Amino acid sequence: MGFDVNQMEAALEIVRIALEATGLLPLEPNQLLKPPEFTIHSVDTVASTNQMLWELIDQGARAGTVAIACQQQAGRGQWGRQWQSLPGGLYLSVGLRPQQAIAQAPQITLCSAWGIATALRQYQIPVQLKWLNDLVLNGHKLGGILTETRVRQGQMTDVVVGVGINWANPVPETAIALQAHLEGQQAASLLAEDSRRVTSLEMLGAIALYGIMWGYTYWQRYGIQALIPSYEALLVNMGQRVELEGRSGQVVGINEDGTLRVQLLDSHDPQKTYLDQSGLSTRATEISVKPGMIQLGYSQHP
């Protein structure tokens, strides 16, 4: 079954109006989701939508160009991990041109993940975030984001944000398919009015695209410092106990560079104290953990 571009273009207008009406973000009228001129390219099968979009950029595609596939044969996640991309899921990439320092690249991943999660939550889908780039629903992986950049003289000239979200595709035990979740809600009569229901893969694509633009617009206007508290409010890992190099710690937030803030129990540090869940005060110190240094998993947050 192919992806209906015409249906998605109609959904983009519906989603834009719905998200603008929320008034959640403090932007001037008509500036929150000023309609970008999306140019959508859809194919049935591709190696990866990120790769497809880079090829389009090499041919002169501008910011706002979108690549969508019904199936990816070589979908990728963070750190080169394979992303299962079977038919029925949402696989899309969008091009951006931030003209920002390369050091800010992780911030684009943060704002994109936050934007998509926030947009989905307007449709009564209680999506949370798993550091750094995963969308989580009911303790299971709903989707993920892969951001790739091109750099010239220390500045990001082009950025591709790739998104994979489970809709009606087969998923492993640690993941969840959104369509099945929504059908369960409908059976329990918990869904919102029809105007706030996700009814198709094309509508999910429209929400994901405007979610990215929502987060990206907010980040560019206000900076990462203003976005971090909202990101942390959705972070499923907050308070999670972790082990790092044989030491026990607890996740307490994220830094501007995208690293994870972990407070370690350390009886040799007399300067800081930490109040644990039992109410006992112990000495602690805080470290920053880079992506790839720690595995947070899904089982601890069902």
Looking up residue 217, the CATH number of its domain turns out to be 3.30.930.10
The residue to which tokens 């893969």 are assigned: 201
Same domain, 210 and 264: no
Pull the structure tokens for residue 160.
């591709």
Q: What is the CA radius of gyration of the chain?
A: 20
* Residue 273 placed within a domain: yes
Ramachandran angles phi, psi of 133, nearest 5°: -135, 20
Same domain, 228 and 251: no
State yes or no: cis peptide before 132, omega within 30 of 0: yes
* pLDDT the model gives residue 78: 53
Same domain, 24 and 94: yes
* Residue 302 placed within a domain: no
* pLDDT the model gives residue 279: 46
Same domain, 81 and 41: yes
Same domain, 209 and 263: no
Q: How many residues does the chain have?
A: 302
Same domain, 89 and 217: yes
Whether 169 and 154 have beta carbons less than 8 Å apart is answered as no
Same domain, 81 and 141: yes
pLDDT by residue, tens only, the chain of 302 residues: 578 999 999 999 888 888 878 876 555 544 545 556 899 999 999 999 999 999 999 999 999 999 999 998 875 555 445 555 788 999 999 999 998 899 999 999 999 999 999 999 999 999 999 998 999 999 999 999 999 999 998 899 999 999 999 999 999 999 999 999 998 876 555 555 555 789 999 999 999 999 999 899 889 889 999 999 999 999 999 999 998 878 889 999 999 999 999 998 764 554 554 444 444 444 568 899 998 888 887 754 43
Same domain, 246 and 228: no
* Residue 298 placed within a domain: no
Its pTM stands at 0.87
* pLDDT the model gives residue 28: 53
What total number of domains does the chain contain?
2
* pLDDT the model gives residue 79: 45
* Residue 296 placed within a domain: no
* Residue 294 placed within a domain: no
Which distant-in-sequence residues (6+ apart) come within 8 Å of 283 by Cβ?
265, 266, 267, 268, 269, 270, 271, 272, 273, 274
Domain range for residue 140?
Answer: 5-233
Domain end (from 233, 253, 273)? 233
